[in-house]
Amino acid sequence: MIENEKVEELFLVMQDKLDKTVSVLKEQYASIRAGRANPHILDKLQVEAYGGMSPLNQLGNVSVADARCLVISPWDKSLLKAIEKAILASNIGITPTNDGTVIRLVFPELTEERRRDLVKQIKRMGEDAKVAARNVRREAMENVKKLKTGKEISEDEAKNSEIDIEDAVKDCIETLDKAVAAKEKELLTV
């Protein structure tokens, strides 16, 4: 398939960027709540503790009590107020309940209107990811043209490389479309 080392390196860099595009989209989707208790919604939550900011998952356990309730059990009970404050400031739309030993987050049922808004949001994120994939394709194509004009690869190698780049980007966009469809289905399932 690829004989030239420079083309192979270019292709590996491009593939890595495409993989990162997909993983970033999936991480973003994990933080969108779909009416079910999902501990990933708290992944980016920073809590003021011990004179600095710390991720919540380093300060205690986050577990799923049932389909609609998360329980946060801090290892140091003196951090309960700080964790509660961080959750309120994070704007996730859930009011924490502090009982003195654990914090409970009860996820309310999503309204139809809120579901539609979330679907629009995930589609926008999906489109942004596709734009990123297309930018990776453009960059890779420019690099192939530079190699061709610099006489480092032949016309045939350039043509084959462009076809391989198109195929890789097409596969990435299909993967992104599947992720969008799966998240949309999850959001619209009551």
Contact 60, 75 (CB under 8 A): yes
Question: Residue 2 — pLDDT band, cuts 50, 70, 90?
Answer: very low
The rounded distance, in Å, linking the Cα atoms of 70 and 3 is 53
Mean pLDDT of the chain: 86
Domains and CATH numbers, the chain: 5-31+111-188 (1.10.132.20), 39-106 (3.30.1360.40)
> Residue 57: CB partners within 8 Å, gap ≥ 6?
42, 43
Contact 47, 86 (CB under 8 A): yes
pLDDT tens readout for residues 56-91: 888 888 888 887 888 989 888 888 888 888 888 887
